[in-house]
Amino acid sequence: MAIVKNIRRWTRIVPVRFARAPDANNPDIDSGTPDANAPDPDDRGFVPAQPGAASLPVGLDESLAEAARPETRVRLIREDMENGGALFITVSDNAILAITSPAPGTALPGQRNMMIKFRARAAGECLIRVMFGAEDGPIIHRLRVVVNALRDVRIAAHVPTINGAIVNDSTGTPVPARSTRTDANIRDLIAQANAIYFPYGIRFVLDAAINRAGALNFANRGMVNDMTNEFGLTTANNRVNGAVNMYFVPQIGSAAEVDQVGGSANSARGNPNTFGSLIADMAAGGQTIAHELGHVLNLVNDPRGQFVHVNTVNDPASPGTGREVRSDIVSRRRLMWAFTNLLADPNMPYRSDVGYGAGQPGAMLAVKQLDRDRTDLEMREVQRAAARLNALAGP
């Protein structure tokens, strides 16, 4: 295994690494929309975090027979090693997952970017190991795989009519009293959010009927100002207990904020009586819905209450999404990034494409706990919050 690399003083050698596989067939594709079967490995803090490997979340629909379950895929990239080195894949526990590609005993192709596919068998953890030279050769890399059985979270969707003073949107058109979304559009958005959450073991199940009967009288027509009590009044409207109540509205915010706010939500853990989410018509994709559902499922769960998002902290001087404290590319890859887009950086173009399309923030939830990062363990927290939605009210 020849490794050709210039070294000044010291450097870390990375023969191979795992990465998300946005395209089902082409391992050379680096970027693409979220896909339930192409999870994003939490490869942050490789060395300090146990078990010294990236962590890959994988969803498991227990209601499907094993053969009917979709294949999960992940890429293996030869970072510092030559393409000619023979690499084989093994699994530490075949009861958890079965490798479907490459075939058993077959080496990975001699190319930089390689595709690995497998099928989940049972919930639990195991390691995918990269062996050098032969199936029983030395292990040169490994990936911790966490297979999560799907936890259903019920969603009750509402499309209320909001009466009030007429306000024009940014194009000069009056904001309508009710969202223009169709039932099909709402179902499609939830399906997109499910593609993001599937690896983390969460599936949102929309009630059969979407409630369009609600009526609210607020300051501005078609607008819910989430900086006032209008948020709580909305989430109380036709509320369904035991479900996440999601309200699709034309606009969110004050009259001065038209076309600025895509969504708003509060935590089911901190707000047991009023939790829910607002989605504005400007939210076109499932990423915004998934982000707001993250808030409902108690993200970001900072025990000191400082972080509002993975990159912003609570600061009364910065009302809204908080004060920005970091802008690294890993934070930009995370679902709980505060903003709906990434501005292009002409000097460092890689910063505006973090693997989910140009200008698109990512959809990753943290699986690991890194030292002192109070925004971590997101996967565990969404599972915990989802589980407790089923509980009877306690004291």
Partner 1 sequence: MVGGLSVGSCQSTDPTSKSQDHKFREEKKMNLPLELERMLSEGEWRAIELAEQLGNKAWPAIKNGASMSGYRSRQVAMACAGRIGGDTAGIILAQGLSDGNVNVRLTAAAQLSVNPPENAKTAVLETLSKSSELDIREMLALAAGYLPGKDTMEVLRPLAEGKDVLGFNARSALAKLGDPEARKQLISSLSSKEPRVRYETLAQLRYVNDRTLAKYAKDLLWDKASALLIGPERNRRFRRVCDQAVDTLVYLMKLSPPFPTTAETIYSDSELLQVSQMIK
Give the length of the chain.
395
Query: Interface mask (CB under 8 A) for partner 1, residues 280-299, using x and -?
Result: ---------------x----
Enumerate residues 6+ apart whose C-beta is below 8 A from 81.
1, 2, 3, 15, 16
Query: If binding is defined by CB under 8 A, does position 321 make contact with partner 1?
Result: yes
* Cβ(83)–Cβ(112) below 8 Å: yes
Distances (CA, A) of 372 to 28, 45, 294, 366, 378: 35, 12, 21, 14, 14
In angstroms, give the least distance from the CB of 233 to partner 1.
Answer: 12
Task: Select 6 or 273, whichever has its Cβ closest to partner 1.
Answer: 273
Q: Which residues pair with 42 in a beta bridge?
A: 55
* Cβ(338)–Cβ(311) below 8 Å: yes
Q: Which of 112, 121, 154, 323 binds partner 1 (CB under 8 A)?
A: 154
Query: If binding is defined by CB under 8 A, does position 261 make contact with partner 1?
Result: yes
Query: Interface mask (CB under 8 A) for partner 1, residues 72-101, using x and -?
Result: ------------------------------
- Given the rule CB under 8 A, which of 4-12, 26-34, 51-59, 314-322 is the region that contacts partner 1? 314-322
Q: Which of 37, 72, 266, 288 binds partner 1 (CB under 8 A)?
A: 266
Task: Select 104 or 242, whichever has its Cβ closest to partner 1.
Answer: 242
Task: Fill in the amino acid letter for 323.
Answer: R
Query: If binding is defined by CB under 8 A, does position 146 make contact with partner 1?
Result: no
Task: Select 270 or 349, whichever has its Cβ closest to partner 1.
Answer: 270
d(CA 315, CA 75): 40
Which helix (H) or strand (E) covers residue 157, if one does? strand 151-158
Torsion sign over Cα 254, 352, 326, 56: positive
Q: Which of 109, 305, 349, 359 binds partner 1 (CB under 8 A)?
A: 305
Q: Which of 9, 12, 304, 372 binds partner 1 (CB under 8 A)?
A: 304
φ/ψ of residue 73, rounded to 5: -130, 155
For residue 255, give both structure tokens.
């009259």
Distances (CA, A) of 146 to 12, 54, 143: 26, 11, 10
Query: If binding is defined by CB under 8 A, does position 50 make contact with partner 1?
Result: no
Torsion sign over Cα 105, 43, 197, 127: positive
- Given the rule CB under 8 A, which of 2-10, 303-311, 325-333, 356-364 is the region that contacts partner 1? 303-311
Q: Which of 264, 287, 352, 360 binds partner 1 (CB under 8 A)?
A: 264
- Given the rule CB under 8 A, which of 129-137, 147-155, 170-178, 184-192 is the region that contacts partner 1? 147-155
Binding site for partner 1 (CB under 8 A): 62-63, 123-124, 149-152, 154, 201, 226-228, 231, 242-243, 253, 261, 264-267, 270-274, 278, 295, 303-305, 308-309, 314, 319-321, 380, 383-384, 387-388, 390-395
